[in-house]
Amino acid sequence: MTSIASKTTGWQGGGNVRRVVFDQETIGQRVRELGAEITRAFPEGELLVVGALKGSFIFLSDLVRAIDRPLQIDFLVASSYGSEKVSSGAVRLLYDPAVSIEGRHLLLVEDIIDSGRTLRCLLDLLKVRGPASLSVCALLDKQLMPSPPPEIRFVGFPAPKAFLVGYGLDYAEEYRHLSFIADLG
């Protein structure tokens, strides 16, 4: 089961990792492209890049180094309300960006869009704070949203409908540190 992961990365630690879906080089190349796209896409003005923790932490740190313009960085931590089994989709912020969003171009960085419920809630929360513009950059999109919001302007890769781990993505807080993205099966 770990043969591909072992062969391409030398990583021996994952009894459950089925297959590498995006290797380190492929991710690196795409992140550099996204950085160039984002550099071109925003007009003058203050750009605030907000990473949704924890899943975006590795992606964000690579992405911002590929963006060639002044920017500021902050984070938010969202938590689902209620029981895990019944996903109402409602989220609350456990940590809020410390700086003001008003009047700034806000780029929300997400690890993966699955049902899109988390994202919709975050967009609603952020819109009312009066950013100059609101955009989303997601590393992965499972493309399950019937009508994706127009704020999703930058996507790294369409994702397979599998459970993915690595490069920030976790399963029960494990696997986040992998430099590649794998299918947990």
- Give residues in contact with ligand IMP (CB under 6 A): 55, 110-119, 163-165, 169
Q: With CB cut-offs between 5 and 8 Å by kind, which of Mg ion, ligand IMP, none does residue 48 bind? A: none
Least distance in angstroms from the C-beta of 44 to ligand IMP: 31
Q: Which of residues 158-177 bind Mg ion (CB under 5 A)?
A: 170
46 vs 74 by CB, closer to ligand IMP: 74
* 114 included as an active-site residue: yes
- Contacts of residue 5, defined as CB under 8 A and 6 or more positions apart, other chains included, come to 11, 14, 17, 19, 20, 180, 182
81 vs 163 by CB, closer to ligand IMP: 163
Phi, psi dihedrals of residue 88, rounded to the nearest 5°: -75, -20
Compute CA distances 35 → 90, 119, 139, 164, whole Å: 30, 21, 12, 23
Instruction: From the candidates 62, 68, 114, 183, give the one annotated as an active-site residue.
Output: 114
Catalytic residues: 114
